[in-house]
């Protein structure tokens, strides 16, 4: 039995799943925490991976691939030494730099046509420009730029001369074109002030290297059998690969951030900046809308109310839709969509009658999902025709979430069994490189019931949320 491993190197932690290469059957898994913050020494990801794999987790594994948080900026000098801590996707200090890049070169339509997306604070190109403007000495030392998953993959192969990435994660940099399949080095130079070495973009099923001796020792792998390395991908692309989504499937992922993405056979270019025109991990495309705030809205509100998540769900479901006029704009950490990096959360429509624990809980769920319902509308505007909405991520397991979601969208809502879908997608890619041809069809990766709800749209709930959001612009 051949085994494969998939790594999810996310913002808060690393998860490693080992599965049977042929059937996808779960074998074992491990995890470890990452440091908190919006900038992190990337070597911490490597140390955490070693901790997650301790105790022989990878024994017998024949291939491995890494899916990682998108957009993070890892800068290296000519010797391959880290120049400064990596700026992560949720670091919003580069908001002004995104605006400057768009204004300096062609406007939103130019960027959407050039790289499929209009730069926001989250994008790597914006962070590169922030580096050049605020830390010119570090910018001058920067010889090579990688994404988080690129860096971990590079270390798996014992830091070879040539780093690799994949088209999915590359499409979130702001200097790689999904439509053309090539880097826009002119845009990188515009941001950094000089050119830099970038990872080679590998084919989706390509073997990009073999696990090196130092990496084997760090990960606790005994034996001499070779371990092949896949190109890896971004976290959203990994989840899409695990779920096997096709055209018409819209995934709403409710983790630290919230994302709504869809399978597509055609590249997209949205000059409004709402939809990022990403590539996926298979050779197709993955238009995506991202919000900065998702699951932590619910945990923060539950903490305010002094209840656990089970009781929080009960409170939310006991309130009427619309929470008696109470509306939460959940911009706790600023916001990416809409592009309001300096905004903060707010509670609208408070009266003496509606300020109850039940309505506050309901408003938190509706607020979290209201922005993602708007995201679904944005995907429709670029040609996506939703046939179903799949809810995944930590907050999807909250029973109030699926009930509220059904009131906000016009397509059936499904919650598949909870699981580590990003790591599972990386594992499926690892099985693909072993197979050498067709992508293995693993079927359902997790046991358990899929929860389904028919759509029951209540337009007044969407309108209430929209009115509160638009009040910010007055």
CB 4 within 8 A of CB 62: yes
CB of 433 within 8 A of CB of 206? Answer: yes
Q: Are 456 and 413 in contact (CB under 8 A)?
A: no
The CB density around residue 444, as the number of other CB atoms within 10 Å, is: 12
Distance CA(277)–CA(347), nearest Å, equals 32
Q: Which of 319, 333, 268 is nearest to 88 (CA)?
A: 333
Taking CB atoms within 8 Å and a gap of at least 24, the contacts of 36-41 are 36/12, 37/88, 38/87, 38/88, 38/90, 38/91, 38/92, 39/85, 39/86, 39/87, 39/88, 39/91, 40/85, 40/86, 40/88, 41/82, 41/85, 41/86
Token pair, residue 454, equals 């028919």
Q: Which two tokens stand for residue 367?
A: 């607020």
CA distance 62 to 433: 10
- Note the helical H segments in 276-319: 295-305, 309-318
| Beta pairing partners, 166 | 202
Angle at 98 between CA 250 and CA 151, to 5 degrees: 70
Q: Which two tokens stand for residue 145?
A: 């730029």
Distance of CA 348 to the CA centre of its chain: 29
Catalytic residues: 235
Provide the residue count of the chain. 474
CB within 8 A of 262, min separation 6: which ones?
245, 247, 248, 249, 250, 251, 286, 287, 288, 379, 384, 386
Which residues, other chains included, contact 393 with Cβ-Cβ below 8 Å and sequence gap of 6+? 253, 254, 255, 294, 295
Cα–Cα dist 115/267, whole Å: 10
Cis peptide leading into residue 85 (ω within 30°): no
**Distance in angstroms (rounded) separating the CA atoms of residues 93 and 57:** 38
Task: Give, as one character, the DSSP assignment of residue 146.
Answer: E
Say how far apart CA 69 and CA 295 lie, in whole Å: 16
Q: Give the Cα separation of 374 and 289 in Å (integer).
A: 9
Task: Print burial letters for 257-274: b (CB count within 10 Å at least 16), e (below 16).
Answer: bbbbbbbbeebbbbeebb
């Amino acid at each position: 039995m051949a085994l494969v491993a998939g790594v999810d190197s996310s913002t808060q932690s690393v998860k490693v799943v080992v599965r049977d290469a042929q059937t996808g059957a779960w074998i074992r898994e491990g995890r470890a925490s990452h440091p908190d913050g919006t900038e992190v020494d990337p070597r911490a990801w490597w140390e955490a991976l070693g901790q997650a794999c301790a105790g022989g987790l990878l024994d017998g594994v024949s291939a491995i691939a890494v899916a990682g948080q998108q957009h993070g900026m890892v800068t290296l000098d000519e010797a391959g030494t880290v120049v400064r801590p990596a700026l992560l996707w949720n670091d919003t200090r580069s908001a002004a730099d995104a605006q400057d890049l768009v204004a300096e070169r062609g406007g939103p339509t130019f960027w959407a046509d050039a790289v499929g997306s209009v730069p926001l604070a989250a994008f790597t190109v914006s962070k590169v420009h922030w580096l050049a403007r605020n830390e010119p000495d570090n910018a001058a030392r920067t010889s090579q730029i990688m994404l988080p998953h690129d860096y971990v993959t590079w270390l798996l192969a014992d830091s070879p001369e040539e780093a690799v990435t994949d088209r999915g994660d590359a499409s979130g940099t702001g200097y790689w074109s999904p439509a053309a399949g090539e880097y826009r080095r002119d845009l990188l130079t515009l941001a950094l002030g000089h050119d830099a070495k970038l990872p080679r973009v590998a084919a989706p099923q390509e073997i990009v290297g073999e696990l090196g001796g130092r990496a084997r020792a760090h990960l606790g792998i005994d034996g001499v059998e070779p371990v092949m390395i896949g190109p890896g991908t971004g976290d959203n692309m990994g989840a899409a690969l695990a779920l096997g989504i096709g055209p018409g499937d819209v995934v709403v992922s409710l983790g630290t951030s919230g994302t709504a993405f869809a399978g597509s056979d055609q590249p997209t270019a949205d000059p409004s900046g709402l939809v990022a025109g990403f590539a996926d991990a298979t050779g197709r495309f993955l238009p995506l809308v991202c919000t900065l705030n998702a699951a932590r809205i619910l945990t923060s509100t539950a903490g305010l109310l002094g209840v656990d998540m089970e009781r929080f769900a009960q409170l939310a479901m006991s309130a009427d839709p619309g929470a008696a006029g109470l509306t939460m704009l959940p911009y706790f950490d600023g916001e990416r969509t809409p592009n309001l990096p300096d905004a903060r959360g707010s509670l609208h429509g408070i009266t003496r009658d509606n300020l109850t624990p039940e309505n506050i809980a309901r408003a938190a769920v509706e607020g979290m999902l209201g922005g993602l319902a708007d995201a679904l509308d944005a995907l429709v505007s670029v040609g996506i025709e939703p046939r179903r909405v799949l809810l995944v991520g930590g907050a999807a397991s909250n029973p109030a979430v699926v009930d509220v979601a059904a009131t906000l969208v016009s397509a059936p809502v499904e919650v598949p069994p909870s699981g580590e879908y990003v790591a599972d997608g990386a594992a499926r890619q690892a099985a693909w490189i072993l197979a050498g041809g067709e992508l293995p069809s693993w079927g359902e990766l997790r046991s358990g019931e899929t929860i389904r709800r028919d759509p029951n749209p209540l337009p007044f709930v969407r309108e209430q949320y929209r009115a509160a959001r638009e009040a910010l612009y007055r």
